[in-house]
Amino acid sequence: MPPLNRPRIVAAAIDLIEREGADAVSMRRIAADLGVGVMSLYNHVPNKSALLDGVSESILSEIEFTDDPAAPWTERVRMQARAFRQIAHSHPRSTMVVVSRQLKSAAGMLPVERALSTLRGAGFGEQEAVQIFRVFIAYVIGSLLREVGVTPTFAPVHGTIRAGDVDPELFPEIGALAPHLSTCDHEAEFDFGLDLLIAAIAGRLAGRTG
């Protein structure tokens, strides 16, 4: 039995979240999965909150930025957003944990640095770069939370809405569009909105310089 340590505890937490969901995470359960007493965990992790921070940090640090400096900035922005989405997608049930924890560590700030650097390099002003950055973050997080089922509100997922379930008098559009509302190619729709946003800010930049 290898010694108990923080990375092993964090890994067990991620594993548990992916197997049974974030609600199943408890210190007792993690300890049981590790074959260890509950309180032994506290020798390596100050509390549950810090453990979840560790989960977020661990997942975040998996992001691989294959950032080609020669590529146009629009492509680099697209790739960064996709890289983030892909990591979240490889740990779907941990996504809510990742995005709901503000990390001050390097793992949390590196993606921010990359994005801001790309936007500044593209020619956006200081405040402008930050605003655009925030718009992208909002879109990416909003999309991810819908994809993983945390915020299904207003975006019924597969099987939730069928044409017969809604009163076509009260909700004619929902009834008519039920086939489209009940299916979703997440990746294609993510790219759809991403392209929309990139085109919008590219137009902003073009309108100024030329």
- Tell me which residues touch a copy of itself (CB under 8 A): 56, 98-104, 106, 108-113, 116-117, 120, 126-127, 129-131, 133-135, 137-143, 145-146, 150-156, 160-161, 165-166, 170-174, 176-177, 180-181, 184, 189, 192-193, 196-197, 199-201, 203-204
The owner of tokens 């759809």 is 192
CB 78 within 8 A of CB 194: yes
Q: How many contiguous H segments (helices) and E segments (strands) does the chain have?
A: 9, 0
Question: Strand, helix or coil at 139?
Answer: helix
Does 100 contact DNA by CB under 7 A?
A: no
What are the φ/ψ torsions at residue 58 (nearest 5 degrees)? -60, -45
| Residue 49: contacted member of DNA, a copy of itself, none (CB under 5 to 8 Å, by partner type) | DNA
- What does the alpha-carbon distance between residue 188 and residue 72 come to, in Å, rounded to a whole number? 22
| Residue 66: contacted member of a copy of itself, DNA, none (CB under 5 to 8 Å, by partner type) | none
Does 11 contact DNA by CB under 7 A?
A: no
| Residue 43: contacted member of a copy of itself, DNA, none (CB under 5 to 8 Å, by partner type) | DNA
| Residue 134: contacted member of DNA, a copy of itself, none (CB under 5 to 8 Å, by partner type) | a copy of itself
Q: What does each C-alpha distance from 7 to 25, 41, 82, 88, 155 come to in angstroms?
A: 16, 11, 27, 19, 37
Nearest approach in angstroms of CB 128 to a copy of itself is 9
Helix 73-90 / helix 106-122 crossing angle, nearest 10 deg: 160
- What does the alpha-carbon distance between residue 46 and residue 52 come to, in Å, rounded to a whole number? 11
Instruction: Kindly indicate which of the ranges 28-36, 89-97, 117-125, 154-162 contains the residues binding DNA, using the contact rule CB under 7 A.
Output: 28-36
Nearest approach in angstroms of CB 32 to a copy of itself is 25
Q: Using CB under 7 A, which of 6, 18, 33, 36 touches DNA?
A: 36
